[in-house]
Amino acid sequence: MEANVPASMISFELPTSDLLFKVSVAALHLGDTRTVKRKDDAMNCIFGEKIYTGNSLLENRYLVFTGQKIVEVSKTRRGDLLEKYPFVTPAFIDPHSHIGMARAGEPSKEAEANDHMDPLFALPDALDSVQMDDPAFRDAVEMGVLYSCILPGSGNIISGLSAVIRNYGENSTEALVARAGVKSAFGYNPMSTQDWKGQRPTTRMGAIALLRKRLDEVRQKEQKFLKAKGVKKEEIAFSVEEKILREILGQKTRLRAHVHKIDDIAALLRLVDEYRIRISVEHASDVHQPGIFEELKMRNIPVTYGPLDGFAYKVELKHENWRNIRHLLNSKVQFGLMTDHPVTPARQIFLQTRWFIRAGLPKPRAIEIVSRNNAEILGIDNILGTLEKGKWASFSCWNNDPFDLSSYPVAVYGEGRLLYSEQSGA
């Protein structure tokens, strides 16, 4: 995700009950960010007997915040004390989800994660299919899962733009936080959609061949454009979709590659070598040997892992097992953890960390996986992921240690605003 906002963006303000959302709009720029300006600048704090910051575990501290942002985590009380809690955690972030696209309480045929129009379809924007009245958003917020990166599904080789969103947004425009890459898919899924429209592959090699052909077309056009001068340069026009592919080829935008099996990741890496593109590996659920994770570590390619609690419903998941995470951990590759909602519900992302605890990871590190790690992979770690000065005041307050099965959030704050209270039930 690009942090800089081009001067050419259009800005406007959308008033809500207690926020002014200053929205920067760039239809084609994949690194646009959305910031929030709050009217109320009163200083508040909550007290935590233990605070998981996303970096460490602190005891007997005050989390001080003004409006949207954290002022400090301190031993000294500042501002109005709202409440005292046994445990506090950062907002959990789901880095790979279809929440709001495949919606709770609706028949599966109405789900909008996959468009059947074209196997190479970079232009669709996942945000355009999000409906914020999906009850799964409410359930996620109640369990402290405040942000999701929504992506199109994996039925197409390239399927469109991702969007990092607030799970508590009033509508999809106000929900948007940032962009975090373009979704692509390798392995079984793209060759399983032969009854959809367009030129559909029947094999893995066919799917990669179609992608290679399209990337070559755009790369050759780009080279021609760079060599042209004067009027000839002006005559070369790129379509909206070609501009997205140019950003991928220019390493400005990451390809978020759905892939499970070792050999499918190997094929993906050959494509990376050929086109010098930036990628993240999404899932890797069938990886049951250490070598491929070690290769990804060497190449500085992050892994958005999981989900861990999904059912292995197809052949390419036949090696899926929670014990595979030992290879992930031992390799020291950069990784985060997803739900792939609705494969596993968004509200259960933290529950999946129990497998990492069982594998020997300390509790603070398990918290980091679904907070700091996920924020870093999405490129939003400047505003989220840890509880520290200058970042958004988005956190959950628990009745007990979150790793105790009987524990749950009793208060959830998003950008300094109380979103959920156990006392009110809403």
Q: What is the pTM of this model?
A: 0.89
Q: Tabulate helix, strand, coil % of the chain (nearest 5).
A: 30, 25, 45
Q: Tell whether the model's pLDDT for residue 263 goes beyond 60.
A: yes
Q: Are strands 303-305 and 279-283 parallel, antiparallel or unpaired?
A: parallel
Which structure tokens are listed for 34? Answer: 């959305």
Name the band, by pLDDT with cuts 50, 70 and 90, for residue 7: very low
Q: Which parts of 122-203 fold into alpha helices (H)?
A: 135-142, 172-175, 188-191
40-64: average pLDDT: 94
| CB contact at 8 A, 188 and 139 | no
Distance, CA of 303 to chain centre: 12
Residue 5 has pLDDT above 60, yes or no: no
The DSSP-derived string for 93-124 is: EEEEE-TTTS-TTS-GGG--S---S-SB----
Contacts of 207 (CB under 8 A, 6+ apart): 119, 157, 186, 190, 191, 201
Burial of 362 (0-12, 13-18, 19+ CB in 10 A): exposed
Average pLDDT over residues 218-242: 93
* Tokens 């959305």 found at: 34
Cβ atoms 422, 409 nearer than 8 A: yes
Distance CA 26, CA 34 (A): 11
Average pLDDT estimate for 138-149: 98
Helices (H), 276-425: 291-299, 325-331, 354-358, 363-368, 374-378
Which residue carries 């960390």 as its tokens?
A: 353
Q: For residue 186, is pLDDT > 90?
A: yes
- For residue 41, the model assigns a pLDDT of 75
Segment (H or E) for 177: strand 176-178
pLDDT of residue 3: 35
Residues 155-167, mean pLDDT to the nearest whole number: 97
> Of 12-16, 81-85, 159-163, which range is least confident?
12-16
All structural domains of the chain: 40-91+385-426 (2.30.40.10), 92-208+239-384 (3.20.20.140)
pLDDT at res. 132 = 97
Largest CA distance in the chain: 70
Cβ contact 328:359 at 8 Å: no
User: 36 near 22, Cβ under 8 Å?
Assistant: yes
Residue 222 contacts residue 233 (beta carbons within 8 Å):
no
Angstrom CA distances, 173 to 22, 27, 57, 177, 308, stand at 11, 12, 35, 9, 31
pLDDT number for residue 285: 97
The gap from C-alpha 162 to its chain's centroid, in whole angstroms, comes to 8
Q: Collapse the DSSP code of 357 into the 3-class scheme (helix H, G, I; strand E, B; otherwise coil) and give the result.
A: helix
At 425, the pLDDT band (50, 70, 90 cuts) reads low
Two structure tokens written together for 116: 């059947």
**What's the whole-number average pLDDT of the chain?**
91
Looking at residue 424, its pLDDT comes to 72
